[in-house]
Amino acid sequence: MKHSGYIVSFTLLLLIPVNITAQTDSSYMKTEEILEDILQEPIGEFDNSDLYDQLEQLQLNPLNLNTSSIDDLTRIPVLDYSSAKLIVDHRNRFGNYFSVNELNAVQNLNRELIKKITPFLYISKTETVDEQVPEPGGIENIFSQTNILLRSRYISRVQTEDGFTSNRYLGTKPRVYNRLLLKYGLNVQAGMLVEKDPGESSINEFSSYHIAFKEIGFLYRLMLIDYFLEFGQGLTFWSPYAFTKGADAVYPIKRNNRIMSPYTSSTENNFFRGGAASFLVDDFIISGFYSNNYFDANIDSVTGEISSRPEDGLHRTSNETDRRKSASEQMIGGRVDYNSRKILKLGMLYYHSGFSNPFQATEVYDISGDEFNYSAFSYDLSFSKLNLAGEFSYNGISVASISILQFLISNDFTLVTSFRNYPRNFYSLHGFGFGERSGSTSNEVGIYFGFKWRTPVGLVNFYYDQFKFPYATFLDPNPSNGDEYLLDYVTKPIKNFEIRTRYKYENKDVTEVIDNTKQIVKRLRQAARAEIIYTISNRIRLKGRFEYNSYKVSQTGSNENGYLIFQDVRYTPTNNFNLYGRIIFFKTDSFNSAIYEYENNLTGVLTNLAMYGEGIRWYLMIRFRPYKIFTLSAKYAETYKPSENFLGSGDSQIPGNIDNTVSVQLDLNI
């Protein structure tokens, strides 16, 4: 009877008159399109929410269109320096905006771009004509400004991995994720997150909490419990992940730091636990921070030294559980930022870290010891059509640096170039710098050149990157180097019809075993892609892609190829229902010639999968929002490789040739 009562209640809820139902919130669709643009050239196979979380937090904490600088506005992905300058120049010339829709009046500002950035902008009521009437006080006003967001997610493989059948995994199959956020206006936020990965035993194997305040009087930021720090260009401090080289040749190169932000991600590393605060004093922002946090580590049983720091956050087996939170870091520091009329920004930083165990060095330039001190300096100068930014970071041994120049040649042409120099004896404990090895801010020298050009017949993105690793690495026994370039072209020859073409060339040194000896050889990888997007109506959008990939190592005689074809459909039969579907055909000679495929997923989840071997993958996803406060998402995905007897390896291996996954998510916004 109890279950039947739930069914009756749910049925009555669905029978409530349709006029209280809500239209599908299109902001998540714009977010997916932005991420797809940026992640067109993926950095590898991953499935996490960190990059999505950056955009989602920006939606929850939008930028004030009338007070944001060019630097602030360029925190929005796809909004480059030239477009942000058009927005600010229009405001300086004609006065404050009365509505975000007024962006359509900005001369030379791309209309498709406006649609993508509007979810991340707002106009304060106190800046509009209607808002001279004071808002009501009391408890009603408190509730009207309070927002509660709950997200619950369940993801599980249908097949059973060997780790479960052999009883090596201590827990259950599903990945379970729960996050609660409470927001009061745009100035106060509190939240908690609990998550377990497949194979882990506890439902709250990872938990995170935060309380955050911003822009309350002279208090610029206040973060309590879990948070992360960003500074300059990411050499010293940055969030766990960052956008890197991709189809957008300009946006990922320069970072726009948020100083400090609450930690709302499920990635179990590179965040701080303690407190941080920033105070606004005239043109200065003065900040201090403290953290005492535990992390996973493999510790040598004889010396007691940290031999490695696993960052996968997995605690499925007894060995993985033994390393859980086995070491700790205590960190304290401060920074000063100076902003002169939003033209010149300078920053200085110092912090000290002490670890519970010293690091074990296996090579001359490996990290060693248990006490570390970092000093850093950053700069950002905007003058007319030029923007120069960079950072120097000193770890007590050597200085790492990056310099970036953006040049707005015209409203339609933006050029960017940068030079990075990360010495072999520099190691960043909490940085995530731009480079060939994403996030690895050590042993690399590189020069990057790129431009974005809006022509009458389409959008052109091009970059060329040349890099060198002056010293041997763990994978390469000798110094190595390489270069790559990418050309991406998007055009709309007729209304509702878009064509995207791309070619990427990458030639770099890799290590191969030849005659039982490790040798450095050249590996040439080339990829060509053609994509057609056809928006039949507001209800139906079709997308098809063909991609060809080649992998060649002349010294070993290796010459591999692969291709991928997919057809994608997005169908919106009603205003509160979305249906996604895709079928993918792929064939490659091996993993070396794998083709990565970014696909739609539950809100907050990013998936870039490596398609290799021969097979078919398809998925079907629905997003249903019957009422304004309630969204239900579900996805079924299946990969079929007819020539295989099993898929995966080790404890993750599954029997048979089908890998299928079921995902369900509930979002409440009250």
pLDDT value for 571? 93
Whole-number pLDDT of residue 109: 84
Confidence of residue 341 (pLDDT cuts 50, 70, 90): confident
At 2, the pLDDT band (50, 70, 90 cuts) reads very low
3 state SS of 246: coil
pLDDT at residue 129 greater than cutoff 60? no
For residue 162, the surrounding DSSP H or E stretch is helix 162-165
What pLDDT, on a 0 to 100 scale, did the predictor assign at position 14? 36
- pLDDT tens string 9-22: 333 333 333 333 34
Q: Tell me, rounded to whole angstroms, the distance of Cα 316 from its chain centroid.
A: 25
Name the residue among 661, 82, 168 with its Cα closest to residue 387. Answer: 82
Question: pLDDT value at position 85?
Answer: 85
- 383, two tokens: 């003058």
Tokens of 582: 């895709």
How does DSSP assign 374-430, residue by residue?
EEEEEEEEEETTEEEEEEEEE-SS-EEEEEEEEEEEETTEEEEEEEEEE-TT---SB
Residue 142 vs residue 134, higher pLDDT: 142
Pick from 549, 559, 547: nearest CA to 585: 547
Query: With 50 as the cut, is the pLDDT of residue 3 above it?
Result: no
pTM over 0.75: yes
- Whether residue 332 has pLDDT greater than 80: yes
Question: If we measure between CA atoms, which residue out of 670, 664, 669 comes closest to residue 152?
Answer: 664
Of residues 569 and 412, which shows the higher confidence score?
A: 569
Summarised one tens digit per residue, pLDDT across range 444-469 is: 999 999 999 999 999 999 999 999 99
* pLDDT in the model for residue 142: 58
Whether 40 and 244 have beta carbons less than 8 Å apart is answered as no
What DSSP letter does each residue of 567-611 carry, written as one string? EEEEEEEETTEEEEEEEEEEEESSGGG-EEEEE--STT--EEEEE
Query: What sign for the dihedral angle of Cα 40, 46, 49, 53?
Result: negative
Helices (H), 269-411: 318-322
Do residues 73 and 632 lie in contact, with contact meaning Cβ atoms separated by under 8 Å?
Answer: no
The beta-strand segments (E) located in 89-205 are: 121-122, 146-157, 175-184, 188-196
In sign, the C-alpha dihedral spanning 463, 116, 608, 637 is: negative
Where is 277: in which H helix or E strand?
strand 272-281
Instruction: Tell me 435's DSSP state.
Output: S
Q: Which domains does the chain have, with CATH numbers?
A: 39-132 (1.10.150.320), 235-471 (2.40.160)
Which single residue is written with the structure tokens 């004609």?
94
pLDDT at residue number 22? 40
Residue 590 has pLDDT above 60, yes or no: yes
pLDDT of 398-447, one tens digit each? 999 999 999 989 888 999 999 999 999 999 999 999 998 877 889 999 99
Cβ atoms of 538 and 572 within 8 Å: the answer is yes
Per-residue confidence (pLDDT) for residue 33, from 0 to 100:
67
> What's the rounded Cα separation, in Å, for the pair 364 and 375?
23
Residue 605, pLDDT > 80, answer yes
555 pLDDT tier (thresholds 50, 70, 90) = confident
pLDDT at 412: 87
Mean residue pLDDT across the chain: 86
Structure tokens at 173: 């199959």
Distance from C-alpha of 548 to C-alpha of 238, rounded to nearest angstrom: 35
pLDDT at 491 over 60: yes
Picking from 290, 294, 149, the residue whose alpha carbon sits closest to that of residue 224 is 290
**What's the mean pLDDT in 256-279?**
91
Pick the range with the lowest mean pLDDT from 46-55, 142-151, 361-370, 470-479: 46-55
Nearest to 197 by CA among 608, 652, 650, 668: 652
Cα separation, 49 vs 663, whole angstroms: 15
Please tell me the distance from the alpha carbon of residue 346 to that of residue 343, in angstroms, as a whole number: 10
Alpha-carbon span 489 to 403, nearest angstrom:
27
Q: Could you tell me which residues are beta bridge partners of residue 75? A: none
